[in-house]
Structure 1
Amino acid sequence: MKQKFDQEDVVLLGKETVFKGFFSLDVYRFKHKLFKGGWSDEVHREVFERGDAVVVLPYDPVTDEVVLIEQIRIPVLAKAKSPWMLELVAGMIEKGETAEGVAHRELAEEAGVTAKHMSKISSYFASPGGTSEKFEFFWAEIDASQAHGVHGLDHENEDIQVHVFSREQAFKFVNDGTINNASTVIGLQWLELNYLNLRKAK
């Protein structure tokens, strides 16, 4: 599909950082072309800036098992039955790092496993209505028998439990709502569409 508009159809009038800490909040002022023709009035939007990240799906195509991690996510405390979430491996991309390098590092730090093979699948925006954050999504071929224990960096106060599930069980967690975070849902849905090809390649 060829989209009607691109970056040439937006005029950025200004950008102001109104908060800067570990994350930052910017206010954008802009005008843009309209589907019905002409231009919009001046629009103001707050944008949560937190940088970009990788998300890694650790999958063992030999045993047909998925490695998931579990850790506390305090922002969901008031909105979920439990703030401990089952997730894929993920981490922020710091200045000077490559996405694939971060993917390998986070796989070791959070799950204690090493990728036999790492392949980028896609890039996607986490919540484009409010944040610029973009995820680089990889799948990693791993040996699931290596995955066990508690991991994470002490100086980042990480407390991460590693779990190994059959692919079928992991996807059931998506269907019944046990897994309720976007990157893990996206990753496991991709796996459900592609696992046969991954297993045939072994």
Structure 2
Amino acid sequence: MFSSQDVTSLAHESLYQGFFRLVRYRLQHALFQGGTSAPMVRELLVKGTAVAVLPWDPVSDRIALVEQFRVGAWAAGDANPWLLEVVAGMADKPGESLESVAHRELAEEAGITADKLTYLYHYYPSPGGSDEQIALFVAEADLSALTDFHGVEDEHEDIRLHGFDRSQVPALEAAGRINNAATLLSLMWLERELSGRHRALKQDES
């Protein structure tokens, strides 16, 4: 099994520093059949860690999703670049825990206070060209009184909040309205978790 010790950085340079950073690396790595690769050049989009949170009301079995403009979907030619997503934000404040980021983003983007946070997992959304990691959570919260519009003006956030019965999710997915990894993964986790609880309850009753 390889490790980071099997990669050699020969040179690197910063190409751009803006909202994100772009770095060019010249590197080589160990090969599966032995030896070392020829030197290669790779550009890396440096984004860091983001936190994504699915709000779920266990009493009403409803979820909340935010809708906002996404430049990536627009640039890719999507007919509707306003995407339905889970609440999310960057973990970019020194010393702030992932749980603190989750609570902060829930308040800023949705006006929601979580009663309980459940950590799901980390994943790399695009490891071929970015170092970004996403930490996924489900937030149990009272979603009975959602307000429509949210966002931090200084961050150019213009967010509309939507509440859905969880039974509506398959139709939203089939219509292509839920088309980003963090939202799909957290919804799949919740479906699997609740199905498992239902099976365990039936077994206890039998």
Matched residue, 1:163: 162
Q: Partner residue of 1:87?
A: 85
C-alpha separation in 1, matches of 2:40 and 2:177: 38
Percent of matched pairs sharing the same residue: 45
Distance 1:21 1:67 in 2: 31
2:38 maps to which residue?
41
**Equivalences for residues 165-180 of structure 1 within 5 A:** 165-180=164-179
- Find the aligned partners of 2:174 and 2:109 in 1 and give their Cα distance: 25
The SS at the match of 1:185 is helix
In the other structure, the counterpart of 2:194 is 195
> Take 1:171 and 1:52, find their aligned partners in 2: how far apart are those partners?
29
Decide whether aligned partners of structure 1 residues 72 and 170 sit closer, same or farther in structure 2, where only a CA change above 3 A counts: same
Q: Is the 8 A contact 1:25 1:46 kept in 2?
A: yes
CA contact (8 A) 1:104 1:114 kept: yes
Equivalent in the alignment of 1:140: 139
128-137 or 9-18: bigger deviation: 9-18
Deviation beyond 4 Å, 4+ runs, structure 1 = 197-201
How far apart are 1:197 and its partner, in Å?
5.0
Which residue matches 1:31?
28
What TM-score does the superposition give when structure 2 sets the normalisation length?
0.90
- Normalising by structure 1, we get a TM-score of 0.91
CA distance in 2: counterparts of 1:100 and 1:196, whole angstroms: 26
Alignment of 1:59-138 (within 5 A): 59-78=56-75, 79-96=77-94, 97-138=96-137
**Given residue 89 of structure 2, which amino acid in structure 1 is its aligned partner?**
G
SS of the residue 2:168 aligns to? helix
RMSD value, Cα:
1.7
Q: Any stretches of 5+ residues in structure 1 without a counterpart?
A: none
Letter in 2 for 1:88: V
Distance 1:92 1:184 in 2: 16
- Aligned with 1:51 (options 48, 52, 56): 48
Residue 106 of structure 1: how far off its partner (Å): 0.3
How far did 1:198 drift?
A: 6.6
